[in-house]
Structure 1
Amino acid sequence: MKLLIERGLMFGNLIRVNSPAWIGFYNRALEKLTGRRTELTEFHIDLAGFSPEIGDELGDLDYLNPKSGNRQFILLTTEQKTAPLLNANFSVLRNILRRFIVQNESQLFSLTARDAVVGEIDSLVWRITSPADLLSIKQIQITADTTGNHVAESDQLTALIDRFRSEPDAWWDDVLIARMIEQARKTGDVVRNPVHLQHTRFDVPDYRTSEFGGVYVFRSPTIKAMVFVDPAQKVSIPGVVTMSLDQVNEIAAWMARAVLTEAIISDRSGNAASILRQKIDFILIDAAVRLGIDTGGATRAELRRAAGRMGEALPPEIRGLSALLRYAEQGGDWPVVDSSDPAYFYALRARPGPARDLLNMLLTELAPHDVRALFIMNKALFYRLYQGWDPKKQEYVADHLAREYQVDKQGTRDALFGPEPSMDEPEADDPPQRPGPWGVPRVQLDERRTPVPASPWGPAR
């Protein structure tokens, strides 16, 4: 992992904490949440205030994520909104925490000027004992306050002020006035400088959780579904299509029926060919390292020569992706690639919509050799797989990501996944899509259900 850290691909963009004031704030917050303190004079924190250095010092990388408890966080500055979220076991946490900071930024800026803000992320579900309970997670509630309880104290003063304004005889209530004065000494002027956090509840339509070995929960599509990473954990749930990652035909059919994906080669911006070439490169470098074939400097020409020496060991994904590349560059007949082809999921991306990012994350599990998409959309899986790769592949991937992705992150994301999705809810009564040229995914579907679009690719050009 040292190579990733040196290239800025791991623990990058963390917030540096080295001032005595911030360290004091952090220690008060840490002691309040965990009963422990740090002796470090410099460390880095992520979006939620987690520090890898402190985790190493305490021998507990989950010190802000207690077992059987809600995820906790520590805010020292509103600038944490730009930091990554490490050790996230809930895919929407980064987005929700960032929105919480942005939507309450003026109040949090005022609070963090004098103290650390500590909080808890609550899924509002008392207990999760079975996969069906995951469907009950529909909102996330964030509770937060400073270590000195400034928010609670301000809420008390606000309540006293409201009572003073609403009660007709409050002017003569010396006890009430005395309580207001005493409370104002603790909080300051809450009328001119309110510190009430207004935006604390956030909807959660679709998400991935690490519970039960990893589960993708899709509620926003017209056909609700749950995809289990571990096939042994899959159970039947009424009203929901349940699948496991090894059921590729069923997953492809669900994506087609709900019109959730599109072919990369349908991109009119001209990026399709370059994206497909890069996917082919990633697959070839993996195969060459695994087969012990020397690729020299791993240039595109050297990788093509290595592919010529693979013979029957050439990865099966290459044939389908090469056909798509020829079509993208030369036109001709639309390539036939269905869900039985290993190249199928490499050639897909999610359509714009509320579930776009989660669908792209799911696609990285179905097409794991596309290391660029894997790094962008599913860092936890990327880091786990990276540790098992050959050093030559590690170096190639780290160099490529540092050279081509780090210099233009947003441009790369736009090219790979298209523009940001609309947050409009999909219509339940959309008309059936026109049949595409790739045929129905190879899976038998219940004829009583909604007619199945032939494929997610759309009409041939």
Structure 2
Amino acid sequence: MKRLIRHGLMFGNLFHVASPALVERYNRALTHLTGKATQLTDFHVDISGYSPEVGDELGDDHYLNHAGVNRQFILLSTEQKRCPLLHVKFSTSRDILRRFIEVNERQLFALTATDAVAGELVNSVFEVSTPAKLFDIRQVRIEADTTRGTLRHADHLAELVERFKTGEDAWFDDDLIGEMIATAEKTGDVTRNPVHLEHEVFEQANFWTAHFGGMYVFQGVEHPAVIASGAKPEGVPLKHVFDLTQRNAIAKFLELNGLAEPVIRARGVDGAAILRQKMGFLAVSVLTEKGRDLSGLSRSDLRRMAARHAEELPVEFEGLAALVRWAEGGGKWPKIRSDHPAYFYSLRASDTVQRDLVNMLLAELCPHDFRQMFICHKEAFYRQYRGWPETKKAYAAEFLAREYAVDKAGARAALFGHEPDMEGRTPALPRVRRKGGVERVGPWGAVNRVRGR
């Protein structure tokens, strides 16, 4: 994993905690939440305030996420909204934290200027000892305050001010006035500078969880189902439960709910070029697993090597090649059905609020496309990376650092984004779209967004 860290592909984009003031605030919040403290004077944190260095020091990578539910967080700066979330247990957690920071950015900027904000993503359960308990999680809300209780004191002061303004003879109540003055010393003037955070309640009907070997829970769709990465869970309150080997059933589920679309027919992208990239990843994945050294080879060299070792390439490769031939006008429409190994490689998520979750599922169904797995499902990528041969590790790390990391948002938009509809709507949480034509490069060539469609 050191190679990934060196290339910035693991523990990258973390917030650096280096000043004594920030360390002291972090320790106050950490002690408040967990009763623990760090002796480190320099470390990095993710969007939730989790630090891999502190986790290593404490011997507990889940010191802010006990039992894997109700994740706690420590905010030292609004800049943490740009950080990843490490040790993910629920796919919704990072979006919820980022949304919370963005909605309250002005207030949080003021609060974190002098203190840390500590809080918790509160579910309706405290442990998930059985898969059925996951279905009791319907909503997630955020509870947060500074370590000195600024928000609590501000709410109390607001109540005192209201009593002072409306209560009979309150103007002559020395005790009330004294309490107001004492509380205001802790909060400042809340009548001129209100201290209040918006606490949205987030529905959690569709999500991925790392619990029980990994599960995709789709409750908020017309035809609900659970898709398990490992063994199928028992005792869940949904009729349809599949594992990743049930490809026909998963394909039917995606089709019935309108959750996926063929890349070759996707609007606003060069589908044939994207499939050529996927062919390249298939060839790279298989050839490196067979011990072929691809380091230092150009794209033309890779094509020639793939041609020389065509008998070693999987059936997925030929299936995607047939689709490309059709798209470029030189072949018949190939019958790639759901039982064909290339089927899920030919799909991407439709433009729905479940887009990211579906792309995450497709990444697991397409294990040779290491780029999609890294972008859409980092937990699975890191898990699989550990078992790869060194040649594959080296190629994947070098490629991702060279071709993806230089323009992450642009690459995601080109591969998985969607053109806005006629009313300009975008799914779920707002996504930042980049303007202008930016070249997207794969192992065998570039993908350019199609203009004027």
Question: Is TM > 0.5 for Structure 1 vs Structure 2?
Answer: yes
RMSD across aligned positions (CA)? 2.0
1:136–1:53 distance in 2 versus 1, CA, 3 Å: same
Question: Measured at CA, do residues 368 and 69 of structure 1 come closer, stay the same or move farther in structure 2, by a change above 3 Å?
Answer: closer
Partner Cα distance (1:268, 1:121) in 2: 37
State the 1:212 CA deviation: 2.0
**Cα distance in structure 2, aligned partners of 1:271 and 1:100:** 36
Which residue type is aligned with residue 144 of structure 1?
A
Q: SS where residue 10 of structure 1 aligns?
A: coil
Tell me the distance in 1 between the aligned counterparts of 2:292 and 2:125.
52
Cα distance in 1, alignment partners of residues 142 and 74 from structure 2:
12
Deviation by residue 1:205-255 (Cα, 9 ceiling, x = unmatched): 3211112221111133221221111224255634x4221111111000111
Cα distance in 2, alignment partners of residues 161 and 121 from structure 1 = 31
Q: Tell me the secondary structure at the aligned position of residue 328 of structure 2.
A: helix
Cα distance in 1 between the residues matched to 2:323 and 2:69 = 48
Partner residue in 2 for 1:429: none
- 1:32 — aligned with what? 32
Going from structure 1 to structure 2, the CA distance change for 1:420 and 1:83 (only over 3 Å counts) comes to: farther
- After superposition, residues 410-449 of structure 1 pair within 5 angstroms as 410-419=409-418
In the alignment, does 2:309 pair up with 1:286? no
Q: Which residue of 1 aligns with 2:174?
A: 174
Alignment of 1:232-251 (within 5 A): 232-235=232-235, 237-238=237-238, 240-251=239-250
Cα distance, 1:377 vs structure 2? 0.6
Q: Within 2, Cα distance between the matches of 1:237 and 1:66?
A: 25
Residues 84 and 94, structure 1, Cα contact 8 Å, conserved in 2: yes
For residues 190 and 269 of structure 2, the distance between their equivalents in structure 1, rounded to whole angstroms, comes to 55
- Mapping of residues 3-18 of structure 1, within 5 Å: 3-18=3-18
Partner of 1:300: 299
Give the 3-state SS of the residue equivalent to 2:144 in structure 1.
Answer: strand
Q: CA deviation at 1:419?
A: 2.1
Check whether the contact 2:69–2:127 (CA below 8 A) recurs between aligned residues: no
Q: Distance in 1 between matches of 2:68 and 2:99?
A: 25
Q: In the superposition, relative to structure 1, how do residues 354 and 185 fare at CA in structure 2: closer, same or farther (>3 Å)?
A: same
Q: Secondary structure at the match of 1:67?
A: helix
Pairwise CA distance, 1:68: 6.6
Structure 1 runs, 4 residues or longer, greater than 6 Å off: none
In 2, the alpha carbon distance for the partners of 1:128 and 1:64 equals: 17
Q: Which deviates more, 385-394 or 211-220?
A: 211-220
Q: Give deviations 1:419-451, integer Å, cap 9, x for gaps.
A: 2785679xxxxxxxxxxxxxxxxxxxxxxxxxx
Q: Give the superposition deviation at 1:203.
A: 2.3
Deviation per CA, 1:246-271, whole angstroms, max 9, x where unpaired? 11110001111112111000034352
Query: Distance in 1 between the 2:426 and 2:268 partners?
Result: 23
Distance in 2 (CA, whole Å) between partners of 1:146 and 1:424 is 33
- 8 Å Cα contact 2:295-2:395 kept in structure 1: no
Provide the C-alpha distance between the structure 1 equivalents of 2:6 and 2:180, rounded to a whole number of angstroms: 55
Correspondence 1:13-412 to 2 at 5 A: 13-67=13-67, 70-235=70-235, 237-238=237-238, 240-295=239-294, 297-310=296-309, 312-330=311-329, 332-412=331-411
- Distance of aligned partners of 1:236 and 1:41 in 2 relative to their CA distance in 1, 3 Å threshold: closer
Change (3 A) 1:202 1:311: closer
Q: Which moved more, 1:64-73 or 1:254-263?
A: 64-73
| TM-score (norm: length of structure 2) | 0.88
Instruction: Give the Cα separation in 2 of the matches to 1:296 and 1:44.
Output: 32
**What SS does structure 2 have at the residue aligned with 1:96?**
helix
Q: TM-score, normalised by structure 1?
A: 0.87
Q: How far off is 1:24 after superposition?
A: 0.8
User: What are the superposed Cα offsets for residues 378-437 of structure 1, whole Å, 9 maximum, x if unpaired?
Assistant: 011111111111111111111111111112212211121122785679xxxxxxxxxxxx
Is the 1:235–1:242 Cα contact (8 Å) retained in structure 2? no
SS in 2 for 1:259: coil
Q: Which amino acid aligns with 1:319?
A: E
2:131 touches 2:235 (CA, 8 Å); kept in 1?
A: yes
Q: Distance in 1 between matches of 2:122 and 2:175?
A: 37
CA distance in 2, matches of 1:49, 1:236: 33
